[in-house]
Structures are given as C-alpha cells and as structure tokens.
Structure 1
Amino acid sequence: MRPDEIVGVHAHRSVELVVAILGVLKAGAAYLPLDPTLPPERLTGMVADAAPVLLLGDGAGTGIGADDIAAIEAEGRSDAPPGVVPHPVGLAYVIYTSGSTGRPKGVAVAHGSIANLLDHWVSRLGAVPGEAAALWSSIGFDVSVQEIFLPLTTGGALHLVPEQLRGDPVALMGWLREHRIVQAYLPPAFVRWIDEDPAARLAGLALRQLLVGVEPLPEQGLHRIRETLPGLRVLNGYGPTETAVYSTAYVDPEPLARQCPIGRPLANTRVYLLDERLEPVPVGVTGEIYIGGAGLARGYLGRPGLTADRFVADPFRPGERVYRTGDLARFLPDGDLEYLGRRDNQVKLRGFRIELGEIEAALLDQPDVHEAAVLVDRNAVGEPRLVAGISRGGAAPKLASEWRAALSRRLPGYMIPAQFVELPHLPQTANGKLDQVELLRLARANLPWQVNLASPRDQIELTLYQIWKRLLLQPDIGIGDSFFDIGGTSISAIKLAHAVGEEFGVTLPVHEIMLHPTIEALGGRLRRGASGRPPSNLIEFRAGSGGGQVICVHPAGGTAFCYLSLAKALPESVGVYGIQSPGVNPGEEFLPTVEAMAETYLRQVAPLLSGPVVLTGLSYGGLVAYEMGRRLALAGHPGLSVVLLDTLGTDDPAHRAAIEPVDMAEFRDKLIKFNGMYPGIDDRQIDQYHRIYNHNRTTMRDYPTLPSPARLVLFQATAGRDEDFLDEVRGFWRRRGGADFRLEPVHCDHWDILESAEVSRVAALLRDELDRIPAREPVREA
C-alpha cells in the first residue's frame, strides 16, 4: 500500500470491521467506510467515485465485489507491524456526504486532523485507560472516528453496540450497564428520551464521559443528565464532516433554560463568524461560521472545483484556508457560540445533512421526468418536511409509494420526500425561475387522484393508526402521512417502536421508522414479519362514552376500514364499530347468505345493543345492516335506526340476474383505484379479497329483502345518475321501510360519500338518528 491509496471497508458491526479499519491505516492507506445499510446504488456510486484499490467485506453478500476480510487476513505472512509511519497530512479516511449535484461528495480527512481531535478530548476530559467505551454510530457517520480511535489510542477497551440494540434506548441502557461503559456517544433522540426520567433511565450506569451533538439540545436537560450521574462529564460538540467530527465544544452544561451553546473552538482550531463581506460580526449578531486550523479536511476527493468553492482563503491569515460551512451562529456575551441553522440549499432533517439537489438529481433520473424540484415545507407544528414537485408531461401519475420505492434504491430513507406533487409544468416566476411559493401552495392544496388515501385498509394499518393516535397530538392521521411531518419526534419514534413491538411481537429498530415513516410503508414492513394476536372481525374504532353506538357493516370487499373517516367526524361520545366479513382473516370460512351474516353479526355486537343504536353500511354493507335491523325490530328492540349509505335495490328480475362475479383484471383495477394495492399485499391476499367480493355480490343477488318494521334512512348519491334509476332505488326501499322512511339525497359520487366533505353530512345524519332515539332501560337480545 502507498500513502493516500484508498481501501473500501464494507462490513457489518463486528470485530472484523474494526480490525479491517486498523489494518488499512497501519498499512499506510486510507479507509472508505461503506455502510451495508445504505442502498446498493449509493454504495456503487461511492465506490466508483473513490476508486479504491481494494474492497474488504465480511463475506455477508456485499454485492459490490468485496474481498472477504478473513480470507485477506489468512494470506498474511507476518505478524510484525508494517513499519509505516503515517504523515500528519496523509489521508486517513474518506466519508461521503450528500451532494447538491446529485453525486455524493467524499470528504478527505488527514491523520493530523484526527490526532488533534483526540488530543483535545483527552486534554479536556482525560483518558480512561483500561475502561470500556462504546461504538454506537455507523461507520459512515464521522462520530464513529472518535468512538473507535479514542479508546484504542488511550488504553481503553472498545465495545461495539449490537445492531439490534442501536434503535432501542431501553435495551441500550441495559447493555451499557452490563458492559460498564464509561465513554459513549448518544444520539439526540436518546438524550431527549433519557431527560424524560433521568434518574430511572441512567440508574446503575458507569458513564463518566458522554459526547452529544448533531442537533440542538436543551441545556437544562443535559445538566439534569450530568447531575444524575455523579462524575459525568458531558460534551456538546459541533462540526461538519469537513472539519473532522467537531470543531467546537461546550463542556459541563448548566441549568439554563436555553438551547445548549456549541461552545468554543477546539485546540488549534479557528472559528470566525463573518458577514457577506467576510467581515467579523459583533457579539450577538448572526454570521456564517467559517472554520480553519488543524481539524480542516483536505477537501473533496477528486472535486477540485467544489473544494475551491467551499475551502476558501482565510481572510485573516495569508496562506491558510477556512471551510465555509453554510451554518449560522452568533457569539454570546461570554464568548460561547449559539447555533442558529443553515443559510443555503442544504437542510438538516433528524440529524442528517441533506443537499436538496441530490434528491432532485435522483428524480430527474427517473423515466419521463422532465423537471424536478425539492423544497422544504413546515408542518403544523413547525417541523421541516421535504416536498417534491415533478413534471412528467402527459405520463400517468405515480403513487407516492411508487416514487418512494424508486428513490429508495438510490437514496437513504431520510432523503425521501414526504410528498410528491405531479404537475404538467413546474410553476415559474415572471423572470423564469422556479416559483417556490406557488409550488408549496400547490403541494398543500394537492388533491389525490385516488380515493381512500387516508384510511387504514387492513388490521395491521388500523393497529398502527391507533398507536399513532395515542402518541401524536393530531386529530387527522392518514396512512400516507409521514410520522415526522405530523408531530412525530425522535422521542415519540422510540415510543412507537416499543408499541409496535408489544402489539405485533416483533423488534422494530427506531431507524426502521425513518425508513418507513408512514402507516402505509410501515405496514408493508410489518406484513413481512408480524406475529401478533389474530385480529377480530369486530373492530373498535372508538368505544364512546354513552352517546350511543354506530355499527358499520363492511361493503362487498369485506373490510370495514373505509368507515374510519366517519368515526373521525362523529362526536367522541359516540361509540363507532366496524364489522368485517369472515374470510378476510386467514383460516375463516365465508358465511353463505345475507341472513347468515346478519345472525352472526348480531351475536358479535350483542353487548353493544343496550342503548341507542344506528346500524349502517355503505353499498352492500347497507343490505346486511338492513337485515340486522329487521331482525332486531321484529324482536322488539325499540332504540334502533338503519341508515343505508347509497345501497342499491331493484325488484326487476332482469336487473337482479345481471349481478355477476367480476374477473380478476376488473377487480385489480378496482383495488388500484381505491388504493387497495398496499405495500406487502401478495397474490394470495388479492385472490382472497377477490373471492370475498364475488361471494358477497352473489349473496346480494339472492337476498329477498323482506319488509322491515325498523326505521329506515336512505342516504342516496345522485351525481351521474338519471332520475329513473334514482326513483327505482327510492321506490324499492320505500316499499320495504313503510311510513318510517327518510330520504337524504346528496349530489356526489357513490364512493365520495365516505371520502370527501360529504362524510360530515353522513355524520350529522347519524347524530340526528341517535338523538331521536329515547334513552331506555337495557333490553336483553333474545
């Protein structure tokens, strides 16, 4: 090996990983960390850009042609040190960060920069020879440099946090106790989680040195952590990858109600706050951070133009360089720095630096994409979210899940936009530039081209929805909403991971939530490994608190999740339940007739029938609800109303005979239109839904629809239908319902009843029906 040659290291968390890194450095080369969790396309691009002379892997199927570390080690002919003495300016490693052109850029860092970092830490906090230190970070995150080399250069023992524990703070705390870890880095989410109950969560830990940073943290919280563990030193570090892990540090936080400062420069480090004329700003005035000194990287590998743009001449020291960070800060009166955010097209989401241009380039590489722009919007609680605007001419729009799947092959999960807006052309200002304000307005007003983009479609999605409702202060949650866009934080993501584990019996690392941030995407992930309790066909959307019960019967498709929007629109006091068709869950048999369904469903809901009850159903579901109501009324149940949501009916034998099964092609089209092709659904489940749908259509054709003494309301969609058809349906139900029949026509499409603003009219009607039913003593169902 020759100095500055690069060796790629593609290995999972193991002793072999650390051995490979040390071996590369001892041989005089520089290591290129290739995190196996990154998308293959991104890894391939990094390898192509860095052109390593050798790729080392751990034999776990790298997919990039790496040589096995163990095999390379076995070929060694000597145990003696190679006798190579790295020069301080020699290349130590190359770490890739997001690039504005769509091409990640490799930051080339020298040995001297790392030596300066480690020397500073030891001089401020002291070494811990013989003590245990933890490696939590992935090797592609530059904090790992300090985590690995600080203990190994000061006589400490390095312990690698097992991958399955990295996303679980409870398990991680147990691991830290078990291994008596003294020195560690913890990510911001875990720090905030600890601060919720520091005495309990830190109990028994041996920690004496804790590095934090990456995102702003409250100083009071860090102080509480420090006070909880006697002798603990806390260092809040700041620094971009281009300046060797961190360039400033704030040690031993105080009990002050403010964002923790990022402190002062490390030894042999210069930090300037400059205005646009490269003049220093006064104390308290915002300026851009420029960093120089021993920690400065050599530049971007193979990118001299970009290096010259960001690594500029030091305006105060001739012949020296500084890195123009794009970060903003101000000096506090005591000389500490306060971080204030970014000034350029680079953003930081959940601790990751992201160049929007890299996402745009990935979109432009997709078929038929003519224009692409990615912007940062803010959700209702002020958290940033990525919005992608895309122009594909006349091409048919894609589902958001399709865009996510396409980008996930190239980009890590944290870089995938929360929303995709397809337009004929992206809006422009009068001078021909992208109109960012208009694009964000269109994104917020964008209407989906499908129905049922909000409601869960199976038991897994419903369970996730219910967990999210408990964790997030958000009245409306859709299956396509990003957890982090609707109020989710790193702490609530930790709680979500634990709740998922309890409900589904699987271990879900927190980083999986970042990779699958929507109910739809996370449901797809869980379908590949869920093993929780078998679901019930009676779904409780809400128990209510004495305001009566609304019981919703499944349409022909068999599931009842379409009623969730209705449950949201009803008062909290009203209990709302859905009944699913037997056969939706594995191992169930279909019920042969509408009458058999009514009888079985009445037994299921018997405990709910002691007060005012409205039975309702959309389309086919109304037919089953009608038969249930007819039987209850004949049995003497007084507190009852049946509401048909655009349920059809005809006495014409020819029309009834025309009800035939649909073929699979037509059924798949229906699934796509109504967003039923969710992630993780397989051909077996599609076939089962197809069979349920056709079975229920057949029972509808054969059901005689006898007259009923129950009160009957028909909520009828009129859009696109002629009067003769509407009159036929009204007459059919009026003849069955008798004098206590109510008609509520509404100008909307059949499927819009539960998917548009009309759902509020349905909810109001159901409230009226509950209110007209007098309170009574409980009646036992015969």
Structure 2
Amino acid sequence: MEAVLNNTAVDYPKNKPLHSLIAESAAKYPDKIALRFHHTALTYTELNNTANRLARELLKKGVKTGDIIGLALDRSPEMVISLLAILKTGAAYVPLDPEYPKDRIEFMLDDSAATILITSTKYKGHFASNTTEVLIEEALSSSADHSNDEPDTNVTGQDLAYVLYTSGSTGKPKGVQIAHHSLVNLMYSLQKAPGITSADKMLAVATISFDIAGVDLYLPLSAGAEIILADSITAKDGRALLDIIRGHNVTILQATPYTWRMMLEVGWDDYLPITVFCGGEAMAKDLAERLLSRAKVVWNMYGPTETTIYSIIKKVTDANDITIGWPVDNTQVYILDEERNNLTDGGIGEIYIGGVGMAWGYLNRPDLTAERFIDNPFAPGEKIYRTGDLAKLKPDGDIVYLGRIDHQVKVRGYRIELGEIEHNLGKQPGIKQAVVIAREDTPGIPRLVAYVVLESGQTGIPDKSVLDNWDKALLEVLPEYMMPDDYVLMDVIPSTPNGKIDRKALPKPDYSHINRSGEYVAPRTSNEKLVADIWEELMGLDKISIFDNFFQLGGRSLVAVKIMARLEQETGKRLPLATLFEYSTVEKLAARLEIDAEAITWESLVPIKPKGSKMPLYIVHGAGLNVLLFNALAMNMDEEQPVYGLQAKGLNGIDEPLDVMEEIAANYVDEIINHDPVGPYAVAGYSLGGLIAYEMAKQMLALGKDVKMLAMFDTYADQTQIYDPWLKRKLTNTWFFVKQLAYTPVLLVQDPKRTIEYKSREIGRRIQKIYKNIFPDKVKKKEGFSAYTDDIHERSLAAQRNYLLTPVNIVIELFRAKKKTFYMDDFEFLGWRPFALKGVNVHDIPGEHNTIFAPPNDKQFAKVLQECLDKAAESRD
C-alpha cells in the first residue's frame, strides 16, 4: 500500500523561483486582470511591472540574495506587489500581520535578523527593531522611473522564499524556512488537483502570517487566474464574503472550517458554483454535509507549515466518509508507531511527511529542528517531518486524520502551542501554575480554557480586575486568537499516577458564572429597594438579598406577572416577563430598570437556558402567552441542554399581535433561524403552542431545515370546523357534548375535587363570555398587561379556529399528561395520528394539563424529555 500511496514522483522545474511563474503568467495574459481590491484592478502587466520596479528600488537600497526582509502592510495591492518584489530581489520575506501584538512582531524581526522592514506611513516608527524602515508609499514613488524589466538577479529554486513564524511551545514563536522550489512544486500540483485555470476567480481571505495565504496569492497568479483580495474586516464578515462571491462570480475560495461555518450561519442557503478549499483544521461531518449541498465541489486540505502549506488533499464526496486523502506531487507520507514501524495495515500512528515540500528547518533553532526533522528510515540521506498528528490508513490507501498526539491544537483554523500561552500566563504575578486546554463543549465552537493555581489558594472564578490584568498582559505578547476564553481557579492541578498533568480530569468551566446567594445583602439603591420590596410583598418572603435568584426563591409565572405589572405601575417601564431569565436577581433587575425604555427589546425568542453543547430545544408558549413556566423544566434537564422559549408578539402592548397561524409560526421560525441558521432543530409546543410548533415544523421542513424533533406538550390536535358545512358542525358539536357528559362521572371518580374545579372554571368562562357579548358596555375594561394579553389570547384563539391542519411527513413526540381533567375523542394519541405521517411516539408524564411543569412533576418530565431529545439528536434522517 505504501508504494501506491507514495508513488507521487513528477517532474517539475525545481530550479525555477516562485516569482518566475507569475512573470510567465504576465507574458501569457498581459492585459488580463490579475488582482482586484475594492475599486482597484491591476492587470498582470501592471502587477508584474510594478513589482519589478519596486524590486529594483530595493536592490538599490542594498538588498541582496539571502537577505531577510520584514513585511508589515495592511491587506492591499501594495502588499502583494511587495511580496513579489522581495522574491525578485533574491531575498526572503517574513510576513507580519500589523494586527498582531507589537512585541510579537518585534521578536520576529529581531529573531530573523531582518535587514529591512517594508511598512506604510500608517505604521511609521511603530515597531522597534534593528531594521531599516522602508515606507511603501515612498518606495513606489521612487521606483516610478525604474525599468519594467525583470531585475538581473540570480534567484534559483534552492533559495529561501520566506520565513513564517508559528506558535512555539517554549513561549516564543519559531520561524519555518521554506524554499522557492517547494512552493513551485505545490503550485504545479494544485493546478492539476484540485485544479485552477486562467478563467477562475479566487477570493483571498487569509492573513499573510498564516501559511495558506501562499495558496490564496500564488496559486491564482501562477495560473493566470484573478485574485479578489478581501480586506481584514471583510475577511471576518460572513455576509460580506458571500456578497463578494455572488457579486464577483468567485469560483474558488480557500478558508478554514471556522470561516466556512461563519458564512453558513449568516444565510448561505443557496447553491453557489464555487470550489471549496477547506484547510487549517479537521473538517467535521456536519460542515461537510452543508458544504456539499451548497458548493460545486469540496476539497479537504491538510498540511503543516513545515512541509509547505498542503501535503495531503482529498475531494470530499460523502460526509460520512471524510478523509484527508492522498499526498500531493513529490510528497511521501508515512503512518508510524512509536518504534517508527510503518503501519500500512490500518493501525493508528503518527503522520510523518517527506519530499520536496520539506522546510529547511526552524531558523536559529537547531535543537528543535533536529527533534522534528529526522532521518528518513525509508530513504537514506533524506529527512521526514514528524507532524504530531495521529492518523490511520484505510484499505484503499486514503489517510484518516484522528487529531493531535501532543498538546498543540488548532482553534478557528490557527495552530496554537498551548505551552506558549501557559508560559506567558505563568509569568503573571500571583500565578503559581497554569495549564491551558482546548475544549469543545459546544460542537463546532472550540474554546481555550486556562486552569490556574494561585499562590493565594483562591478557587472558583477570578475577580474581574484580575482577569482584566491578565488579558491586558497576554495581549501584549500573544495574538488575539491565542487568548483564553475562560479561566478556572483551582487549588491543585490534577495529575496521573506517574505525576504528569491529567488534562482529561480538568473540569468543565461554569460558563454561566451566575451569582449565587450567600449572606443577606441589603438594597443599596432606590431601584434595588423597590425591586426587593415588591418581591418580598408578592412572594411572601422576608429580607430578600440583592443577590437572591428569583427562580431559586420559587418564583413562577403568576407571581412574575404581578411583579412586572407592579414595576410598570411604579416606574412606567414595561419589561418582558422573560427579562427574569437574564436579570434574575434583585441587583440585576434593578440595574435593568436604569436602561431607557426604548432600549428594552421584546423579541419572541427568549434564552431560558442558552448554555450547553447539545441540540437546542425551542418551546412555544401556551395559552398563557409567556414562557416563564418552562424555566423549572429547563433547569432540571441535562447541564449541556440549551433551552429557548418563544413568547407571543405584542406582549409589550405596542407591537401588533398576529391572528393568522401561518404568520405566527413564520415569525417564530424567522427568530429561530436568525439565532441559529444551521440547525438541526428541536421544536416543541405546550397546549395552543403545540399547534404553532406543528406549523413551524412544516415551514422549516419546506425551507430544507433539519427538524430532528417535533414535540407536543399535552396538545390536542383540534382541527378547525370552519371549512365544514353548517349541519356537520352542529352534529359534531352536539355529539361531542353528549360524550363529554357521559365521561364526567369517570373523571369525578378519579379526582372529584379537581374535576369540580375544572368544570366550575369552564362554566364561569362561558357565562362571562355570554355576559360580555350581551352587555359589552358594562364590562370593566382591563388596563396594562392584562388588557393586551387578553387581546393576544383572543387573536391566538382566532388563529387556531381558522387553522387547517394538513398532514406532514414527520414524527411527533407526544408528551401526554397522565391525569385527565376533560374529555377527548382520542385519549391515546390526542388526535395527531392522521397528521404525523411518520407516526406518533407517546410519552406519559406526571400531572395534569396545567401542572406538568410544576414540582415535582417537572423533574420527571425533564428526564423523559431529555432522553427523547438525546435520541433524536443521534438519529439519522
């Protein structure tokens, strides 16, 4: 198998320097656009001639073959011109992203012994180093009269092209040295597969400090294609990238999985005839599925900086079978065990790479070079690079990537040595020990978590002032992408029996950071006193601390309505009930009252429990319109289970309530998709909300969304009678009334007290409705919250009466209250069998219709619901 895998020998012009490929494109396509940037467009002739003139200016300043030149320019045509000009002089460049920390850039300049720094007037004098500063504006002006001819320099394929610094495990970046011939080989190989022609347009988004920028720039220029260069702000904006792709007919884009996800999550739902190069980190199955359905072709690209950008590539055709593929031209790949035996039988081992892409090693680091670039046991006299990546071979020779063997990680496409973060964090005052790991508690969203032992012995969450100091210190020496997302203070770092750090035993951070009540703390402001007094009065409690949590105190929907109504009465500010999810303490709710009324938002989507790695659950309100009653259910579910509620539009008394079921559902669907454009989705509804959820699922399926679960929380499939003939309606209702009367004795035997309460309330509602219709002028008009909730409720009922249920190709998970308080034609499936074409799964839960969310029923309900959700998340359509 190895012979087949490594049968990659191909002739290539190994003596050619990289820039000669671009010069050949200029000769072949002189008037073709080579580079676009905003409103600027340069032809191949203009690009190549300008680079020639600038190279001559640099030579005039004493630059010679073998020199190293730093380049710190914002993304612009001048940046590309400067890169080519440096190569044409015979010098090598060090790419420096000006957005990186000043200290880091200065280290790279000093470590590389750069003789010149090309920068712009914007950064004049900004970087302290021993280099001679050349301002690009002045250099281009001075070079205007120079010859357009290629400069007379003897640059060969064996000369150094660039030194690119990657994260270093000892606390300092390390410079990887790449020669011209390695880049030339890669360009020729990639021209064939994945393939590029002069008709292509490639959008360039990678920072030049990331090695894949070499493919962004040199691959299209070597093939006569067009580069569309994105500025640094656009490169981070998914919507802007999609606009460019559509507006400029981009045919190729290379990006990390993080960037592809960013684009998918801002509305990329249509097909685009684009070739996807996905590199920088492992491709996940869900990402592959989405890209395959939207793009022309998808390529998975793998390779460390030390072996020249990409070493192994694969055209992805099946999201269930993602590999990194086969080596590029003139590249050898081996999967070796700890004794460096070649594992051709499918065993798991470390990836070693050899061939013409091999770097010279690390600049000024002979020890590290010797450690990572070892003698090739299969080709005497040659070297192979040990990647630290795990993989195995499939029977057909495809390589399956299995992750890192050490503590180097990739987060959002950036390769990060965790040791570099630990090294710099450990230097901060008061820190005894620091360990950093990458966690992915939410799939697709990796986070860097720092576990810190303080000399003081403090545990838990660091004080905000301390965090600010650490962040400030780290940002001075590390780029932003290497900053820890979370900190956990520990009394001791766990270790294995042999004394090594046990990283697997490091605990999951408390992402919520919710304040817990401790000793009583009295109100400090007038608003805190107002909130505390209202809580104490309406909740029947004494001495509520400003840090006490509404829900932990036993707060429920009914008292929440009273609290918000009283606050509106006292302050004139109307707050959503859902405010209590985010501002659940006296202190937070009082602070919320300080905000201008215009700034208070009344979105339908409410984060009940937004944190967690599992598939989120979206629950639609019942007849009570708000979602506060779902809190206890959510808090009893798995720690990793996010839960969101959907509250009725118009609860603020300003927005016009909706009275058409399809429009109500569409409003909620819009909010869910805006929150999570990707999915998959789990939608549930309580009582009336079940009908809304049913229509939502129907609309989401029509949009091509992946609805993993549709759940009904004790919802009956009430089919409208509005389309039935008058006589049929009368006969149906009369017969239903007879069956209700006949079933009442059964209910009385089961629970006489509750049945009498329910029937009395139902009769009272009917009498009140008749009275309102006969004597509308005598009915006292409600005001405030009660008035507009009544209006919304009536409109919701109107929407229900006019809504025609039609069958949908979906399965319904029916959570049915065990206790019955009223008659139904279908006690078993609550009327859903005809409408769920894939079937109805029934789950009995304790309580009756109005108490399924109340303690202690909420705990059992949560358990059953969680099991159902987990099963749905694992299922395949």
Letter in 2 for 1:176: I
Which of 69, 78, 82 in structure 2 is aligned with 1:16?
78
- Check if 1:128 corresponds to 2:197: yes
Distance 1:352 1:274 in 2: 25
**Residues 569/7 of structure 1: CA separation in 2 closer, same or farther (3 Å cut):** closer
Distance 1:612 1:121 in 2: 58
Distance 1:106 1:147 in 2: 21
The CA deviation at 1:179 is 2.3
Bigger radius of gyration among the two = 2
For the Cα contact (< 8 Å) 1:218–1:259, is it kept in 2? no
The CA deviation at 1:211 is 1.9
**1:347-358 pair list within 5 angstroms:** 347-358=409-420
For the Cα contact (< 8 Å) 1:394–1:424, is it kept in 2? no
- Check if 1:78 corresponds to 2:141: no
Q: Which residue of 2 aligns with 1:146?
A: 215
Q: Which residue of 2 aligns with 1:699?
A: none
Letter in 1 for 2:486: Q
User: What SS does the aligned partner of 1:379 have?
Assistant: strand
Q: Which residue of 2 aligns with 1:411?
A: 478
Distance 2:319 2:301 in 1: 19
Q: Which residue of 2 aligns with 1:64?
A: 127
The CA deviation at 1:70 is 1.7
RMSD of aligned Cα (Å): 4.4
User: What SS does the aligned partner of 1:163 have?
Assistant: coil
Residues 638-697 of structure 1, C-alpha deviations (whole Å, 9 max, x = no match): xxxxxxxxxxxxxxxxxxxxxxxxxxxxxxxxxxxxxxxxxxxxxxxxxxxxxxxxxxxx
User: What SS does the aligned partner of 1:201 have?
Assistant: coil
The CA deviation at 1:116 is 0.6
User: What SS does the aligned partner of 2:191 have?
Assistant: helix
**Residues 562/176 of structure 1: CA separation in 2 closer, same or farther (3 Å cut):** closer
User: What SS does the aligned partner of 1:317 have?
Assistant: coil
For the Cα contact (< 8 Å) 1:93–1:109, is it kept in 2? yes
- Check if 1:173 corresponds to 2:237: no
Distance 2:480 2:72 in 1: 19
Distance 1:330 1:185 in 2: 26
The CA deviation at 1:585 is 4.3
**Residues 130/566 of structure 1: CA separation in 2 closer, same or farther (3 Å cut):** closer
Residues 506-557 of structure 1, C-alpha deviations (whole Å, 9 max, x = no match): xxxxxxxxxxxxxxxxxxxxxxxxxxxxxxxxxxxx9979995542888999
Which of 398, 401, 405 in structure 2 is aligned with 1:343?
405
Distance 2:310 2:326 in 1: 11
**1:149-298 pair list within 5 angstroms:** 149-192=218-261, 200-203=269-272, 205=273, 207=274, 209-217=275-283, 222=288, 232-251=296-315, 253-254=316-317, 256-298=318-360
The CA deviation at 1:258 is 1.6
Distance 1:289 1:131 in 2: 33
Which of 372, 382, 388 in structure 2 is aligned with 1:326?
388
Distance 1:559 1:6 in 2: 64
**1:671-686 pair list within 5 angstroms:** none
For the Cα contact (< 8 Å) 2:430–2:456, is it kept in 1? no
Q: Which residue of 1 aligns with 2:95?
A: 33
Distance 2:84 2:286 in 1: 39
The CA deviation at 1:406 is 2.6
The CA deviation at 1:422 is 3.5
- Check if 1:551 corresponds to 2:564: yes
Distance 1:216 1:147 in 2: 19
The CA deviation at 1:173 is 2.2
Residues 105-144 of structure 1, C-alpha deviations (whole Å, 9 max, x = no match): 1111110110010010123355422543321111111111
The CA deviation at 1:327 is 0.5
**Residues 120/312 of structure 1: CA separation in 2 closer, same or farther (3 Å cut):** same
User: What SS does the aligned partner of 1:166 have?
Assistant: helix
Letter in 2 for 1:290: Y
The CA deviation at 1:190 is 4.5
The CA deviation at 1:415 is 1.7
Residues 236-267 of structure 1, C-alpha deviations (whole Å, 9 max, x = no match): 2110111111001113x32x242521110111
% same residue: 34
**Residues 14/553 of structure 1: CA separation in 2 closer, same or farther (3 Å cut):** farther
Letter in 2 for 1:107: V
Distance 1:381 1:200 in 2: 21
Distance 1:246 1:175 in 2: 26
The CA deviation at 1:330 is 1.1
Letter in 2 for 1:268: N
The CA deviation at 1:150 is 1.5
**Residues 259/405 of structure 1: CA separation in 2 closer, same or farther (3 Å cut):** farther
**1:301-450 pair list within 5 angstroms:** 301-377=363-439, 379=441, 384-394=446-456, 398-399=463-464, 400-423=467-490, 426=493, 433-434=500-501, 436=503, 440-441=506-507
Letter in 1 for 2:117: L
Output the TM-score relative to the length of structure 2: 0.51
For the Cα contact (< 8 Å) 2:302–2:313, is it kept in 1? yes
For the Cα contact (< 8 Å) 1:10–1:56, is it kept in 2? yes
Q: Which residue of 2 aligns with 1:624?
A: none
**Residues 584/93 of structure 1: CA separation in 2 closer, same or farther (3 Å cut):** same
Distance 1:557 1:68 in 2: 60
Distance 1:566 1:414 in 2: 34
Q: Which residue of 1 aligns with 2:581?
A: 567
Residues 429-461 of structure 1, C-alpha deviations (whole Å, 9 max, x = no match): 6765545466x2496699899989xxxxxxxxx
Q: Which residue of 2 aligns with 1:114?
A: 183
**Residues 406/105 of structure 1: CA separation in 2 closer, same or farther (3 Å cut):** same
Distance 1:261 1:612 in 2: 49
Q: Which residue of 2 aligns with 1:780?
A: 782
**Residues 139/59 of structure 1: CA separation in 2 closer, same or farther (3 Å cut):** same
The CA deviation at 1:220 is 8.6
Distance 2:119 2:400 in 1: 41
The CA deviation at 1:382 is 9.0
Distance 2:339 2:300 in 1: 30
Distance 1:197 1:366 in 2: 39
Distance 2:486 2:591 in 1: 31
Letter in 2 for 1:134: L
Which of 161, 167, 172 in structure 2 is aligned with 1:98?
167
The CA deviation at 1:281 is 1.1
Distance 2:470 2:573 in 1: 27
The CA deviation at 1:279 is 0.5
Residues 213-233 of structure 1, C-alpha deviations (whole Å, 9 max, x = no match): 22333579658756766xx45
**Residues 582/245 of structure 1: CA separation in 2 closer, same or farther (3 Å cut):** closer
Distance 1:315 1:387 in 2: 39
The CA deviation at 1:420 is 2.1
User: What SS does the aligned partner of 1:333 have?
Assistant: coil
Give ranges in structure 2 of 5+ residues lacking alignment.
1-62, 519-554, 600-622, 627-760, 770-779, 785-877
For the Cα contact (< 8 Å) 2:323–2:399, is it kept in 1? yes
- Report how many residues are paired: 500
Which of 35, 59, 67 in structure 2 is aligned with 1:5?
67
Distance 2:236 2:268 in 1: 21
The CA deviation at 1:387 is 2.7
Output the TM-score relative to the length of structure 1: 0.56
For the Cα contact (< 8 Å) 2:409–2:418, is it kept in 1? yes
**1:628-777 pair list within 5 angstroms:** none
Residues 200-221 of structure 1, C-alpha deviations (whole Å, 9 max, x = no match): 5344x5x4x4322223335796
**Residues 578/430 of structure 1: CA separation in 2 closer, same or farther (3 Å cut):** closer
Letter in 1 for 2:302: Y
Letter in 2 for 1:386: L
- State which drifts further: 98-107 or 38-47: 38-47
Distance 1:87 1:225 in 2: 40
Letter in 1 for 2:344: P
